[in-house]
Amino acid sequence: MYLCCGDSLFDMFTGPSADPHGVTIDGRVGGSPLNVALGLARMGNHSRFFTRISRDMFGRRIAAFMSDNGIDASLCVPTSENTTLAMIGLKADNSADYAFYTQGTADCSMVEADLPAKLDETVRVIHFGSYSTAIEPTASTLSALAAREGRDRFVSYDPNLRTMIEPDMDIWRATVKAFTGAASFVKASDEDVGQLGTTPETFAADATDAGADVVCVTLGNDGALAFSADGRETQVPGIRVDVADTVGAGDTFQAACLHWLGANGLAERGKARAADLDAMANFAVKAAAVTCTRRGADLPTLADIESFGR
């Protein structure tokens, strides 16, 4: 079983309006760790999610979304706080342009009392990422869970920096250090790495020195780099597609890597370093390419990935 923790929100896609000063809005369920949970569920895994979920109109839709997509919400904590909203426009290249509304919202207000006292032994992999790992009090809550469980379970981490939510890079650097110290698998984008003031190679070396078995750095259209703690590394090419938008592409890559590791019996601390890096990264790039052809974080099923490009 996979457990994903943290961000759950509504992506509000903005578009032109008949009113020259207005916008139209198309709302979709999102949030980086929730997207990963969705991808894992659609790839045929038992996927569970942990966060605070609002009782507001958006939170009720998020709960229904999880139920409809086979995501186990049994650990989620109901709350009266509002749901986080992300307003999304598109840049000239169809990449996402974000503005977040997070002050006092449900997924940003988790406290250690919300943590499950004990996790089911069937939980093999725990995933953390994005703004929920940097915004207090949720950040400290999830960090405590990662530290507690990282000794015995396979922890996954994606910094997925959102500097428009938390602009202090010292906080992000401390967050990355804390979570990579517990993680067996780490994925970051080249944009994340650049914002941290480092290079993919140095980022990977720091993560493996901290205990990670495998590190991936995605390169947008140029594919991805993958590094193993045993010293191997590779770069796989990207796949050219007609891009609807890039929302959820990185989360798809993360989910696909975790699925691949689990399917190959490598989602255990120490075992992942033996992974076939090319096979894993190529599978994940292919999965992410499928998502890029769709609007929003509409992650693919295993059948979608396997049939893509035929």
Domain range annotation of the chain: 2-307
- Residue 89 pLDDT class (50, 70, 90 cuts): confident
What is the Cα–Cα distance from 40 to 105, expressed in whole angstroms? 26
Q: Looking at the predicted structure, is the pLDDT value of residue 255 above 70?
A: yes
Alpha-carbon distances, residue 263 vs 222, 255, 272, 274 (angstroms): 26, 12, 12, 14
Q: Which residue has the tokens 């207005």?
A: 22
pLDDT in tens, 156-196: 999 999 999 999 999 999 999 999 999 999 999 999 999 99
Spatial contact of 103 and 83, defined as CB atoms under 8 Å apart: no
pLDDT value for 50: 98
pLDDT value for 310: 59
Backbone angles phi, psi at 170, to 5 degrees: -65, -35
Q: What is the mean pLDDT of residues 59-83?
A: 97
Q: What is the mean pLDDT of residues 55-81?
A: 97
What is the Cα–Cα distance from 51 to 232, expressed in whole angstroms? 36
- Beta strands in the chain, from DSSP E residues, in sequence order: 2-5, 9-16, 23-30, 47-50, 52-54, 71-72, 77-79, 84-90, 96-101, 125-129, 154-158, 185-189, 214-218, 224-228, 233-236
Q: What global pTM score does this model have? A: 0.94
Q: Looking at the predicted structure, is the pLDDT value of residue 95 above 80?
A: no
Q: Which residue has the tokens 């940003």?
A: 108
Task: For the domain covering 2-307, report its CATH number.
Answer: 3.40.1190.20
pLDDT value for 244: 85
- Residue 206 pLDDT class (50, 70, 90 cuts): very high
β-bridge mates for residue 198, sequence order: none
**What's the start-to-end Cα distance of the chain, in Å?**
31
Task: Give the closest residue to 200 by CA, choosing from 186, 213, 182.
Answer: 186
Q: At what angle do helices 277-292 and 249-263 cross, to 10 degrees?
A: 140
* Of 61-65, 87-91, 162-166, 302-306, minimum mean pLDDT range: 87-91
What is the Cα–Cα distance from 269 to 225, expressed in whole angstroms? 21
Of 96 and 260, more confident: 260
Question: Residue 152 CA to chain centroid, in angstroms?
Answer: 21
What is the Cα–Cα distance from 286 to 279, expressed in whole angstroms? 11
- Give me the chain's average pLDDT, please: 95
pLDDT value for 264: 97
pLDDT value for 92: 75
What is the Cα–Cα distance from 169 to 163, expressed in whole angstroms? 8
Report DSSP state, residue 300.
Answer: P
Q: What is the mean pLDDT of residues 33-48?
A: 98
Backbone angles phi, psi at 245, to 5 degrees: -165, 170
**For the chain, percent of residues with pLDDT exceeding 90:** 85
